[in-house]
């Protein structure tokens, strides 16, 4: 029996579509939007202080005098983009820290990419601290005062990670860029997969004005809220070509450098909202770290 040409073409197109959809589901297994908490995450400590809301599409974290809490992704990823919408602790949050970070979960040679949101006294700006650990070496803190009140509504915080650069963004506005300068002898995280972690905890020995502002437990409990968990990247273990295949989407032109618009936004943040940069801290670093001369 001979099938008409148009039927052969339709069957071929259908086969291509099925194969393409199957391949995408392997490459991006956790990219469904919106994901529920249980799909991608697990509680790491004090499960009594983490509550799922909105049918599991959002969660509430709680800090009181008995405990803080934390959660982590069920899987690890190598390159891609991770985003979460977070509503931070409201009111007098001095001494509290909400952390959202990626970590290789290794010991002395860990890689880590940090967002840390430092609590404040009511009416003061909220500071976000970023840090980059590569092969166990950190001490690369930068601090930016947010240009809005992050406790009034959800805002999107994301980490984009490719072979070329790491970008920390707030509502798609870059606030930190760490470029790959291995050609200049500067290590770059590219070989260790990282999980996604978040915590709400007390750190009043350093979090607010260097520890001068202590936590006011009469304001407890403190709450932070998360939703729209979005992970797009290479799940490890996964397809063997993921770590080295430079044809993956996260190695495209948009992830090699900032667009002209994003570059302008980045300069605006650094000019108007940056309050600390380890690169200019001569007390800590009499000799400027080498990456500070490399366009970081």
How high is the mean pLDDT in each 10-residue block of the chain (296 residues)? 50 44 42 74 97 95 98 94 96 96 88 97 93 95 97 97 95 97 93 94 93 94 96 75 64 88 97 97 95 70
∠ CA 259-277-274, rounded to 5°: 60
What pLDDT is recorded for position 8? 45
∠ CA 272-82-281, rounded to 5°: 35
Regarding the domain delimited by 29-293, which CATH topology (the fold level of the hierarchy) does it fall under?
Jelly Rolls (2.60.120)
Any catalytic annotation for residue 116? yes
What pLDDT is recorded for position 249? 78
What pLDDT is recorded for position 106? 80
Any catalytic annotation for residue 172? no
What pLDDT is recorded for position 30? 40
In 3D, which of 196, 249, 243 has the Cα closest to residue 76? 196
Helices (H), the chain: 5-27, 37-40, 260-272
What pLDDT is recorded for position 13? 45
The answer to whether 102 touches 168, Cβ cutoff 8 Å, is no
Q: Which residues contact 269 (CB under 8 A, 6 or more apart)?
A: 144, 173, 174, 175
Residues shown for the chain:
296
In 3D, which of 104, 143, 116 has the Cα closest to residue 270? 143
Residue 240 Cα to chain centre, angstroms: 24
Domain ranges of the chain: 29-293
Q: Which segments of 56-111 are extended strands (E)?
A: 58-63, 69-73, 76-87, 96-103
In 3D, which of 148, 175, 140 has the Cα closest to residue 86? 148
Q: Which residues contact 143 (CB under 8 A, 6 or more apart)?
A: 118, 127, 128, 129, 130, 274, 275, 276, 277
What pLDDT is recorded for position 295? 54
Query: Which of 54, 112, 213, 251 is flagged as catalytic?
Result: 112
What pLDDT is recorded for position 17? 43
Read off the pTM: 0.85
Q: What is the dihedral of CA 247, 252, 256, 261, to 10 degrees?
A: 180
d(CA 148, CA 117): 13
Query: Which of 116, 202, 213, 291 is flagged as catalytic?
Result: 116
d(CA 259, CA 244): 24
């Amino acid at each position: 029996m001979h099938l008409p040409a148009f039927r052969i073409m339709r069957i071929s197109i259908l086969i291509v579509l099925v194969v393409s959809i199957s391949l995408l589901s392997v490459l991006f297994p956790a990219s469904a939007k919106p994901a529920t908490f249980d799909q991608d995450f697990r509680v790491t400590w004090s499960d009594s202080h983490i509550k799922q809301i909105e049918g599991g599409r959002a969660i509430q974290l709680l800090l009181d005098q008995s405990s803080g809490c934390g959660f982590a992704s069920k899987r690890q990823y190598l390159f891609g983009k991770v985003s979460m919408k977070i509503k931070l602790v409201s009111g007098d949050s001095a001494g509290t820290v909400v952390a959202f970070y990626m970590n290789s979960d290794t010991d002395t040679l860990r890689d880590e990419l940090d967002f840390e949101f430092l609590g404040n006294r009511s009416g003061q700006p909220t500071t976000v601290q970023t840090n980059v650990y590569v092969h166990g070496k950190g001490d690369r803190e930068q601090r930016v005062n947010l240009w809005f009140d992050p406790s009034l509504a959800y805002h999107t915080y994301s980490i984009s990670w490719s072979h070329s650069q790491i970008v920390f963004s707030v509502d798609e506005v870059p606030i930190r860029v760490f470029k790959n300068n291995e050609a200049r002898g500067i290590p770059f995280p590219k070989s260790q997969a990282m999980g996604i972690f978040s915590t709400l905890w007390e750190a009043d020995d350093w979090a607010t004005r260097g520890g001068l502002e202590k936590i006011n437990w009469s304001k407890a409990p403190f709450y932070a809220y998360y939703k729209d968990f979005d992970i797009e990247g290479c799940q490890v273990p996964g397809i063997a070509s993921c770590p080295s295949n430079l044809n993956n989407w996260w190695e495209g032109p948009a992830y090699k450098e900032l667009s002209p618009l994003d570059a302008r936004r980045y300069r605006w943040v650094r000019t108007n909202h940056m309050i600390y940069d380890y690169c200019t801290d001569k007390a800590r670093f009499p000799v400027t770290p080498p990456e500070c001369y490399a366009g970081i």
